[in-house]
Structure 1
């Protein structure tokens, strides 16, 4: 029945929807718009590749980066194929609740799991593939044509990845709705899970790779030998540039794609339950509008004479967001009815706002949230504002005060960001009334309208960073060209920090909507399990979700604990891999004649090999934790404690992700502030202090922090997928406590074994050991 909701009818949801007539046409239009977005992506790729490639020396360096990044991702995908195969089989076994054709839905849920994983991998791989070809073109353009053409190449590279993200996300969701209609939400659970699982592994693996190389290069190059960041004498420079692409390009692109896919999944699940067939179509129309506004945003991103590059990018974002907001409101008023009775909903229990007003306000809240996060993150991580200036000033008194001030910025910014996100969720819930859950999901859809431009902003960062590195390593760029690339790198550094903040907000809205979907599915599964006997125990089951239940509080504590353990594992993995890099680079400086004089060539490939092997080895433990923790809690403690687990993880994960991202961003830009000539400039004691702060912040902002985003969604999706099985084993004719506890124990043992193996690995390589003998 349209409009069913836990507060009114928690135990009955009708999914027998028929997307026909005009609705079918609209979904087809969305599918066509997704192809248009992919077409624009192909056009932007062609435009980038048409640019000049610079000198032969530049091309040689870029080729080494390309080969390293390509080899890493191919090895990573082979490793992840094992996890994908296990998940595919598990999805075939898990029940799907009250789907019309359970067997068919289970099969295609698994099939679309692979499609979602494939799309996520494709966005990451193709984005990286273009980025490693765009970097030398940006460097060449800065030397031969000037700032504006160079900046345009970087932005077009990001635009291609943005169009790919939007196009594949919309294509997957619209095709599922067309094929499965009322059962589409169940199939989409697999699609979203595949995207989220691959993104989490790519985020963790790429983050460990890039920061291990970066930290090792900084500690030995800058601190110990006082040479520039991208000096070709440093054996870790190629690995550092490769890491920028497999982490910030491939990892972040996959992360934002899965946020896009998962938000759509949650919105379609809740929309079908709230508004019936219109709730299954409207969440597709809003991001489709976003695809169009993103195309406009890309074309209007043209630098003005003398204008700071960040101002140019921000202007494009705000204009694109405004177009998306206006367009979404127009769609809501044209598509949704003005009266609740037209949706078959009793007016007496409906929200005060009409359906079209409720949906419009919720979507606009999501768009405003993106703009607010952009401004807030920019303030706490930008070099023009007080927080970063204060961190830079503390470098005059040493590394300890730099670290303390950066931690302070991270802690404080997390509070304000959480308040902003909380206000958006609360505002959407208030306007949604009894449809609060769907309204929160619509706010997430509003945020999706900005994703195309957000991805473009993010990819611009590593492309400009690599362009500067290629210029410095080749020595073929004049001081004027080098200054242009330095400016673009500073802009890219800020855009990366900003997009991390927006990605966190997207993750929280998606996770909140998935959490709502979990509770709805739990209630539906309970009703299906008990059948006619549901009325007697329905209220008691519903009341087990209240927060003062001790088991729910235990679940919340466990959820918060997983976020801490996950972050610790990721940071520790960077520390181990970075230690191996440090010893290898030191060895090369010591044993290879003529490196410091520029006559000896470092063995770049050995460092690439070290971080490739170590990052792939280290990504398994966080992944196992994310997948098995909900299984252990859900089957061991029950449905309601698992709900508490998810709530604890979302709350703690939000604060932790913002803290890590903004503290790291503040340290990074404080270093750049000093390198620009403040507080003694490069080579000073203040510079050394900020480099140490930056090395601490690197795994914060580029490994653990961003990886929390997909972690939250993976755990929510796993919970959503297993809730029906938990209910079946806990209630009704299929009750089996022995099997339920056995599953929980095996999951807990799996986590314990993975953590134990991780802790048994050596932290660093000793001076007396060869660099390739890290303990597995």
Structure 2
């Protein structure tokens, strides 16, 4: 049955529209809860005037960066809007809807990212002030930090769910095609915000650490370090804005994949059930946010994990009830599906409920596994910390080892979840829908996940403001140190969960790509198909293996570009901070104030300059492979990118997390404590890990989803050019060559920028060496 026929035959009844309307109302309720939490956070005290001045500087720097980034990305959005409109579609309404909702998805992603930045830069000073209030300060500081994340989490689920529900209400059977544009807009903006924010934050962080901690032997957030404001700004534009946009696009893309596959697998009910699952997630997110409270003497991480598991269990129970209440017990009772699927054995309600539970369980396992490899209380990080006694080289080697090992176990766990969902049905279409539903299940906890992630940078910034102002002492400072360590682990955990959502979404989109190819073949009247879509050709054709290799290579190149961008930008920061210490000796005795703005400006310019190359690669590489080699090699390309991206993202994230927390261990007094050789060694390890865990690693998540969405969007065009006479071959090849040349040109330009070290004055280099 063709997708066009499904779109024409799939009409929503009045009851179906009522269900979607209820889902839309639930989405709006999530936004209302987010507003209530927002008011609560802003009502908290802001501390001393000096603390407020520092917070204001961070707010201004973060807003200036994101405003400039959005102006830059606006040009890109317009270009992609036009290209999307030019792609084939069944009718004009679908073409307009797909392009329009691309802009909506991009706008929602940008809105959530901006909100994450805006609120976190206002919550950080409130957390610092709460910690300084004496009795009850710990509980209040933790509540403010977590509920700040709750605002962003509720906005994420609210906007994602409302956007999808709106498309389904307006477009019904055509909704999956229109939602491809919505998901693509969300993913593209998230990738840019992840890359740009990651470069900004880690350039500032690396520069601040190398000059401040290692060379000048001053504390991390000492106000004498010109890079401290930029470092705090970076936490917000990278961790808060970037991760919020990342998790929103995971939410949107998973819904897109679920709705595309659901219409083919379950008909109208397959279009609706993926909306019901995240609607339940809204309720559990509210419960999770409001139940997070640390008991006296209890670790903050324990309290946060407990809320997550409570939310997960409630989600599993309610989703199971919803599946059996909404879905029939036989495929024969489903409407709007093909006869072959109607004849499939199995219970749709049972398949859907088990698939959702698999996703929820996966989230819990990833939480535990990532926490084990990056938490200060567990063996891996303790061993990395112990290697600091023999120098920086062994710290780096042990951290790399932790990253490699954790990547294997995480990939196996994710693979088991994907395969478990796939085994739920003998029908490939239904099995792929089950994988998409597993992703929906995992994302029922996304409200709590976003809260956990935002908790990290808000706590980190709070400690920075406290240290820079000098107005928080004793128990208050100790509380902020504890919350910062907890936030370090929650950030690592949410990165692991984000990777799992990316893999589930990409795998489901991989199935959507297969569906798009098959429907395109039917549409052009070549049902027998002379394209390599059979199992034998897809698996054993050499050109498909070439596609696999190229997909894996793109992940490596993307990661290398991101790390190298941080290297260049951080080099510029190092030389600027050194220059200020050298030219203004009064900085060290506090008689001269550092020029914070210059460092912020360097970070802003360099991060925005580096956005284009990885962005062009993500969009154009699938086009080059698809039009140049065909649909089979493009399938191989996607498989190679998903597999390699999974391992690479986990390796980078967990290596960086282990190095960061090993540094925390030493700073807590182990192995000589602050100022020791062991501390210097772990600072180097943490510096290496910064671009790993906060730039390259997280950016791989949106990368693989952008590439999958691009492939789904261009699949009909590839088929159209590939079937028929050879007259269209020159056009097809020309498209591939132009795309490849643009990628090569962008990489060459990026590599020719050189490094700050090459451009630095000789006296600056010698000053640093001294």
Please show how residues 73-152 of structure 1 align to structure 2 within 5 Å: 73-96=66-89, 99=90, 102-145=91-134, 146-152=137-143
Rounded to whole Å, the distance in 1 between the matches of 2:30 and 2:564 is: 40
Report the counterpart of residue 17 of structure 2 in structure 1.
24
Cα distance change, pair 193–733 in 1 and its aligned pair in 2 (3 A):
same
CA distance in 2, matches of 1:405, 1:516: 38
Deviates more, 1:52-61 or 1:18-27: 18-27
* 8 A contact 2:27–2:279 mirrored in 1: yes
**Aligned pair partner of 1:277 in 243, 265, 268:** 268
Q: Which residue of structure 2 aligns with residue 165 of structure 1? A: 156
**Is the 2:117–2:240 Cα contact (8 Å) retained in structure 1?**
yes
Of the three residues 455, 461, 467, the one matched with 1:460 is 455
Contact 2:530 2:723 in 1 (8 A): no
Distance of 1:26 and 1:603 partners within structure 2: 57
Structure 1 distance, partners of 2:143, 2:95, is: 46
Choose from 202, 209, 234 the match for 2:225.
234
| Unaligned 5+ runs, structure 1 | 5-9, 772-776
What's the TM-score once normalised by structure 1's chain length?
0.96
Partner residue, 2:169: 178
What is the 5 A alignment of 1:439-450?
Answer: 439-450=434-445
- 1:11, 1:526 within 8 Å by CA — same for their partners in 2? no
Whole-angstrom distance in 1 between the partners of 2:727 and 2:456:
53
Aligned length: 757
User: How far did 1:527 drift?
Assistant: 1.1
Measure how far apart 1:343 and its partner are: 1.3
**Structure 1 residues 348 and 65, CA gap change in structure 2 (3 angstroms):** closer
- 1:415-426 equivalent positions in 2, closer than 5 A: 415-426=408-419
Deviation by residue 1:737-761 (Cα, 9 ceiling, x = unmatched): 0000000000000000000000000
For residues 71 and 348 of structure 1, what CA distance do their matches in structure 2 show? 54
- Distance, in Å, in 1 between the alignment partners of 2:677 and 2:450 is 37
Judge conservation of contact 1:138–1:153 (CA < 8 Å) in 2: yes
Deviation of 1:236 after TM superposition, in Å, equals 0.1
**CA distance 1:116–1:544, change in 2 (3 Å):** farther
Q: Distance in 2 between matches of 1:140 and 1:48?
A: 12
Q: 1:759 aligns with which of 720, 726, 751?
A: 751
Partner of 2:514: 519
- Gaps of at least 5 residues in structure 2 are 765-770
Q: Is the 8 A contact 1:728 1:735 kept in 2?
A: no
Partner Cα separation in structure 1 for residue 71 and residue 561 of structure 2: 22
Match of 1:287 in 2: 278
The match for 2:371 is 378
Q: State how far apart, in whole Å, the 2-side matches of 1:737 and 1:342 are.
A: 45
Aligned counterpart for 2:465 among listed residues 461, 470, 489: 470
Deviation at 1:353, TM superposition (A): 3.4
Deviation larger for 500-509 or 335-344: 335-344
Q: Give 1:774's aligned residue.
A: none
- Mapped to 2, the partners of 1:276 and 1:522 lie a distance apart of 19
Q: Are 1:662 and 1:701, in contact at CA under 8 Å, matched by a contact in 2?
A: yes
Check conservation: 1:92, 1:110, Cα contact below 8 A.
yes
Q: How far is 1:203 from its partner?
A: 0.1
Pairing 1:485–2:476 present: no
Structure 1 residue aligned with 2:147: 156
- Pick closer, same or farther for the CA change 1:665–1:635 going to 2, 3 Å: same
| TM-score of the superposed pair, with normalisation by structure 2 | 0.96
- Mapped to 1, the partners of 2:111 and 2:186 lie a distance apart of 10
Change (3 A) 1:280 1:545: farther
Q: Quick check: 1:618 aligned with 2:610?
A: yes
- Deviation of 1:448 after TM superposition, in Å, equals 1.0
**How is 1:676-687 mapped onto 2 (pairs within 5 angstroms)?**
676-687=668-679
SS in 2 for 1:194: helix
Could you tell me how far 1:338 is from its partner in structure 2? 1.1
Q: Does structure 1 conserve the Cα–Cα contact (< 8 Å) formed by 2:132 and 2:475?
A: yes
Aligned mate of 2:432, from 411, 414, 437: 437
Contact 2:334–2:342, Cα closer than 8 Å, also in 1: no
Q: Distance in 1 between matches of 2:345 and 2:25?
A: 36
**1:540-555 maps to which residues of 2 (within 5 A)?**
541-543=533-535, 545-555=537-547
Q: Residue by residue, what CA displacement relative to the aligned partner does 1:306-327 show, whole Å, maximum 9, x if unpaired?
A: 1100000000000001111101
2:380 maps to 387
Deviations 1:526-546 (A, max 9, x none): 1111x2x423x3686435752
- 1:11 and 1:347 map into 2 onto residues whose CA distance is 17
State the alpha-carbon separation in 2 of the partners of residues 64 and 711 from structure 1.
Answer: 32
Aligned mates of 1:348, 1:619 — CA distance in 2: 45
Give the one of 52, 55, 59 matched to 1:66: 59
RMSD between superposed Cα atoms in Å: 1.6
Give the Å deviation of 1:492.
0.4
1:679-718 CA distances to partner (integer Å, 9 max, x unpaired)?
0000000000000000000000000000000000000011
Alpha-carbon distance between aligned partners in 1 of 2:340 and 2:617, rounded to the nearest angstrom: 46
- The answer for the alignment partner of 2:235 in structure 1 is 244
CA contact (8 A) 1:14 1:273 kept: no
Following the alignment from structure 1 to structure 2, what is the Cα–Cα distance between the partners of residues 734 and 245?
53
CA deviations 1:33-78 (Å, max 9, x no partner) are 0000000001101000000010000000000000000000000000
Aligned residues of 1:268 and 1:283 also touching (Cα < 8 A): yes
- Deviations 1:470-507 (CA, angstroms, capped at 9, x unpaired): 00000001121000000000000000000000000000
- Pair 1:201 & 2:196 matched: no
Cα distance change on mapping 1:609 and 1:348 into 2, 3 Å = closer
Cα displacement string for residues 167-188 of structure 1 (whole angstroms, at most 9, x for unaligned residues): 0000000000000000000100
Counterparts of 1:589 and 1:351, CA distance in 2: 73
2:179 touches 2:256 (CA, 8 Å); kept in 1? yes
Query: 1:670 aligned to 2:662?
Result: yes
Asked whether the 8 Å contact 1:728–1:734 carries over to 2, the reply is no
* Mapped contact 1:123–1:164 kept (Cα < 8 A): yes
Partner of 1:54: 47
Aligned match of 2:245 in 254, 260, 271?
A: 254
Partner of 1:600: 592
Q: 1:7 is matched with which residue?
A: none
Paired position in structure 1 for 2:490: 495
Q: Pick from 394, 402, 406: which aligns with 1:401?
A: 394
8 A contact 2:331–2:342 mirrored in 1: no
- 1:707 and 2:702 matched: no
Q: Secondary structure at 2:9's aligned position in 1?
A: coil
The 3-state SS of whatever aligns with 1:144 is coil
Residue 768 of structure 2 aligns with which residue? none
- Once the two structures are overlaid, the 10-residue window that deviates more, 347-356 or 129-138, is 347-356
Question: Is this contact kept in 2: 1:374–1:502, CA < 8 A?
Answer: yes
The match for 1:190 is: 181
Deviation by residue 1:430-464 (Cα, 9 ceiling, x = unmatched) = 01331111000010010110100000000000000
Is 1:646 paired with 2:638?
Answer: yes
> Aligned to 2:735, which of 737, 743, 749?
743
Residue 656 (str. 1) matches residue 652 (str. 2): no
Q: CA–CA distance in 2 between the matches of 1:743 and 1:341?
A: 45
Q: 1-side partners of 2:585 and 2:718: how far apart?
A: 64
Deviations 1:581-627 (A, max 9, x none): 00000000000131111111000000000000000001111001101
